[in-house]
Amino acid sequence: MKSWRTRIGVGLAVGAAAVAIPLTATTASAAPPPGDGWVPIGAERYPSKAECEAKELPAAQANGYHEVWCDDSEAIMPIFNR
């Protein structure tokens, strides 16, 4: 039979792992845009972040948004409106 000290130590280690794993796990998704209120609207391939945002702004404004943010960390840039 294991001592209480061993059982408590093992229990604490398992509990810490159960909390740490979900907090450190990440998905392979785009980085979130800065600030609050951004809505993902799709993704497109553009040569630069500036061109993406310039070309997407008229469509965003036509749909009631006033800002566009393109995530240039990926080849096909996720696009967000706010």
Amino acid 48: pLDDT: 96
For residues 54 and 38, is the Cβ–Cβ distance under 8 A? no
Alpha helices in the chain (DSSP H): 4-24, 49-62
**Predicted model pTM:** 0.59
pLDDT of 5: 65
Give CA separation, 73 vs 26, 31, 52, 78, in Å. Answer: 16, 8, 13, 9
In this prediction, the residues of the chain whose per-residue pLDDT falls under 50 are: 23, 26-27
